[in-house]
Amino acid sequence: MRQVRFAGMLLVAAALGLAAAPGRAAIRFTFDHDQYLVEPGGQVSVPVYLEFTGQEMTDLEAVAGLSSAAVRLHRVDPGPGSPAFPISVAPNTLDFDDPILVPLIAGPTPQEVGLWEFADLTRASGVLGTVAEAGARRIALGDFVFQGGTVLLETTRFQAADYDPALDDTVTFTLPTTALDSLIVPATVEILVAPEPATLGLLALGTASLLLRRRRRR
């Protein structure tokens, strides 16, 4: 009965979430930041999480967390001249620790990368993550590494969404299990190519000096 209640409440929450702001979604993919900076041709690591809030957090705890979780990051911008692109992913093998079902990684390709990972079913409970703040629980999925393009101040946008709409890949732990894939709200992150701090400081200093000289000439 607990699983039925959990699924029913999530369906209602999902319907309400579609009409509400994405930031208020009960279950969603999320990042530490909306935007990450990377030097031209450099690399940046982007952690991805699955976040539960409100009653959905309580119900997740009642069914002992997750037995598996998955996410796919794909590029959603129109295609800049020198976009950032994923080059690797480090799964959360500390929590998703099945000794036989190793994490499945799709790609990476210049446009996308996916991750599907599994908890050891012999455990007493599944993956619950940590309480990030009051009324919110975060499950770390993995760290996705991106390489920056070569054009300064160019932004590439990636969306975290369902790994495969045809599969049940994010599933609760306690039997009978409940698939949550269709209830998870996607999230978008930006990779911005920016000069290294020292270079940025010199540019700012040069601009300030130029403005000062112009004022003196007046």
pTM of the model: 0.79
> What string of pLDDT tens digits covers the 218 residues of the chain?
434 334 443 433 343 343 334 445 599 999 999 999 999 999 999 999 999 998 899 999 999 999 999 999 999 988 778 999 999 999 999 999 999 999 999 999 999 999 999 999 999 999 999 998 778 999 999 999 999 999 999 999 999 999 999 999 999 999 999 999 999 999 999 999 999 764 444 444 444 444 555 555 55
Q: Which amino acid is at 93?
A: T
Report the CATH number at residue 59. Answer: 2.60.40.680
Q: In which domain, by residue range, is 49 found?
A: 2-217
Encoded tokens for 95 = 């929590």
Q: What is the pLDDT of residue 11?
A: 39
The number of folded domains in the chain is 1
Rounded distance, CA 176 to CA 183, Å?
A: 18
**Which CA distances in Å does 190 have to 64, 83, 126, 127, 160?**
33, 11, 31, 28, 11
